[in-house]
Amino acid sequence: MSPAARIQAFYDTDTSTVTHVVSDPETQRAAVIDSVLDYDPKSGRTSKTSADRVITHVRAAGLQVDWHLETHAHADHLSAAPYLQRELGGRIAIGAHIRQVQTAFQRIFNAADMDTEGRDFDQLFDDGAQFTIGRLQARVMHTPGHTPACLTYVIGDDAFVGDTLFMPDYGSARCDFPGGDARTLFRSIQAVLALPPATRLHLCHDYPPASRGPTWVTTVAEQRAHNVHVHDGVSEDEFVALRQARDKTLGMPTLLLPAIQINARAGHFPPPEANGVSYLKIPLNLL
Ligand SMILES: [Fe+2]
């Protein structure tokens, strides 16, 4: 049986993203899940304030990072995994279906340099893959729907669910990005909700209402009882109808176009042009 993980979370207020540092208290081996590289869309400047908070914590706690785990190719923030890897070591991993995501966006951005075989990542995980963080046993669940490549990482009684579920009062993730599918997400959520009821679910985002502050840990039992989109008793067809209706009302995330071009390259910038500057593309009238 896997011992209990130690978990430190960092909430980025700009993108409402939660980065988790998961470590084995005995060996001090660690994984960083869903890191954030700060990005100002007005100036095109990146900065490392959020990532440096993680580095400060890792060094102060004496942790050795083995993994930079992405739950999926995010559309709302840039990944800091390559920067953290340079500073801390470790391997960058994502779901094997990232190839599908890369293929879709290589076409959309007409980005000849974008690899579609996942080679920018150090490790691609299939459904059911297992790996270790020190003595912690981690198991990979492929939980597509929000994107085709979404993963949930199960480590003992803790599951890092990415963008499948949000807090019970907010519901579930949108399914209208390329390759997203509400019916698929419902089935993935059912697989997550089939974990033991006391399993702690750690979210990738929280969008709190005015009545509460940001929070990102809930349980299978709480979700089954209270999730506004998928509590027990909601049928697949009911969920699909609700999800599709809601997705029609949602605008494009502010950082989708920059984020996906970076994150489909495992957080690396596009190759610099002759003047040494990396550029992002904006497809006009395509999306
Ligand atoms: Fe996402």
Q: Give tens-digit pLDDT for 146-178.
A: 999 999 999 999 999 999 999 999 999 999 998
pLDDT at 75 over 70: yes
Could you tell me the distance, in angstroms and rounded to a whole number, from the CA of residue 141 to the centre of ligand 1? 16
pLDDT band, very low/low/confident/very high, at 189 (cuts 50, 70, 90):
very high
Share of the chain above pLDDT 70, in %: 99
Could you tell me the distance, in angstroms and rounded to a whole number, from the CA of residue 261 to the centre of ligand 1? 14
pLDDT at 2 over 90: no
Crossing angle (nearest 10°) for helices 236-247 and 182-193:
130
Could you tell me the distance, in angstroms and rounded to a whole number, from the CA of residue 254 to the centre of ligand 1? 12
Could you tell me the distance, in angstroms and rounded to a whole number, from the CA of residue 53 to the centre of ligand 1? 22
d(CA 206, CA 214): 6
Could you tell me the distance, in angstroms and rounded to a whole number, from the CA of residue 204 to the centre of ligand 1? 8
Which residue, 257, 95, 72, 103, is CA-closest to 175? 72
Q: How far is CA 260 from CA 59, 95, 101, 133, 162, in A?
A: 29, 15, 9, 28, 16
pLDDT at 239 over 70: yes
Could you tell me the distance, in angstroms and rounded to a whole number, from the CA of residue 27 to the centre of ligand 1? 31
Instruction: Check residue 1 and give its pLDDT.
Output: 60
Could you tell me the distance, in angstroms and rounded to a whole number, from the CA of residue 276 to the centre of ligand 1? 30
Could you tell me the distance, in angstroms and rounded to a whole number, from the CA of residue 22 to the centre of ligand 1? 20
Instruction: Check residue 3 and give its pLDDT.
Output: 79
**In 136-194, which ranges are E strands?**
136-142, 151-155, 158-162
Could you tell me the distance, in angstroms and rounded to a whole number, from the CA of residue 1 to the centre of ligand 1? 31
Could you tell me the distance, in angstroms and rounded to a whole number, from the CA of residue 99 to the centre of ligand 1? 16
